[in-house]
Amino acid sequence: MKTIPLGTTTLQVPSVAVGCMRINQLDKQEAEKFVQTALDEGANFFDHADIYGGGECEVIFADAVNMNSTVREKLILQSKCGIREGQFDFSKDYILTSVDDILNRLKTDYLDVLHLHRPDALMEPDEVAEAFDILERSGKVRHFGVSNQNPMQIQLLKKSVRQPIVANQLQLSITNANMISNGMNVNMLNESAVNRDGSVLDFCRLHDITIQPWSPFQYGFFEGIFLGNEKFPALNATINDIAAKYEVSNTTIALAWILRHPAQMQPVVGTTNMQRLKDCFKAADIYLTRKEWYDIYCAAGNVLP
């Protein structure tokens, strides 16, 4: 598996991250096979969140991998905290409690990366900074990131937080590509010119923050997968033609489209289908031509000015 640097760290991570949000849909044998399939392909970066399955997904993962100190050294574990029922919570006490609970469920002493999961309108940067310092000093968290935050929110956080923000999880797919589109439609009056994220793509590139796209095959907000979907005939025809050229699946090409971007993103894939998981990993070995990238972009209905 091809690797990339995570943010400004010296940590080299697989270019495709394995999302564990749906691992609770698998039985024990299936979960073990899922984890081992990823590891066999060199994909040892696993993404979690304390809300996935109400914490059950982390428990299932730890059991599936037969967690112990030897196994732990071979893994890169990332989790997220901050979403509670009916609210977001970046308070110091909640962050510290959440991390302790995550570590207990994962049967580990530390996280490689902790993300703040969605912006909290009541965030106090000083409180977050205190929590991060405690977690870093105690060795419980090595690196820190955010999820779904725009540049000004990250700047506000950095007002107090001294640790580098190494990653930002953002929704991105061929059909949900506004962070790319608005940069190509500057000063235009069309829908694609609307800047909804404060130029977060350019901001992250300028500050060496790794973007981790989530839902890379979804359209809308969890409305479904665009691959094989009759709502996107031109897009699927284009992807299928390119897939045939490279002798890979449409899944591989759809993910290769994201990996082709020079920002060196690390998409998080959420499939629990073993073959589709392998198809995702193959994307790391595909380098689309500029024409192929733009053909796919335009076939999705994205506009070039």
Whether the pLDDT of residue 243 is over 90: the answer is yes
pLDDT band at 259 (very low <50, low <70, confident <90, very high): very high
Cα angle 83, 73, 278 (rounded to 5 degrees) comes to 70
pTM: 0.97
In a domain, 207, yes or no: yes
pLDDT band at 303 (very low <50, low <70, confident <90, very high): confident
Number of domains observed in the structure of the chain: 1
Average pLDDT over residues 42-53: 98
Three-state SS annotation for 102-149: HHHHHCCCCEEEEEEECCCCCCCHHHHHHHHHHHHHCCCEEEEEEECC
What is residue 48's predicted lDDT score, i.e. its pLDDT?
Answer: 98
Query: 254 CB contacts (<8 Å, ≥6 apart)?
Result: 173, 174, 216, 217, 226, 227, 239, 283
Neighbour tally for 272: CB within 10 Å: 21
Taken as a whole, the chain contains a residue count of 305
In a domain, 304, yes or no: no
pLDDT band at 285 (very low <50, low <70, confident <90, very high): very high
In a domain, 236, yes or no: yes
Whether the pLDDT of residue 222 is over 90: the answer is no
Strands (E) located in 15-135: 17-19, 45-47, 76-81, 83-84, 87-88, 111-117
Average pLDDT over residues 242-257: 98
Percentage of the residues of the chain whose pLDDT score is greater than 70: 100
Cross-strand partners of 144: 114, 165
Cross-strand partners of 281: none
Whether the pLDDT of residue 232 is over 90: the answer is yes
In a domain, 110, yes or no: yes
Whether the pLDDT of residue 166 is over 90: the answer is yes
Average pLDDT over residues 107-129: 98
pLDDT band at 223 (very low <50, low <70, confident <90, very high): confident
In 3D, which of 144, 94, 85, 117 has the Cα closest to residue 21?
Answer: 117
Residues with a catalytic annotation lie at: 52
What is residue 221's predicted lDDT score, i.e. its pLDDT?
Answer: 85
Contact predicate 6/143, CB 8 Å: yes
pLDDT band at 59 (very low <50, low <70, confident <90, very high): very high
Whether the pLDDT of residue 182 is over 90: the answer is yes
CATH number at residue 68: 3.20.20.100
Which structural domain range is residue 225 located in? 3-299
In a domain, 33, yes or no: yes
Residue-averaged pLDDT of the chain? 97
Percentage of the residues of the chain whose pLDDT score is greater than 90: 98
In a domain, 49, yes or no: yes
In a domain, 189, yes or no: yes
In a domain, 305, yes or no: no
pLDDT band at 177 (very low <50, low <70, confident <90, very high): very high
Average pLDDT over residues 229-256: 98
pLDDT band at 169 (very low <50, low <70, confident <90, very high): very high
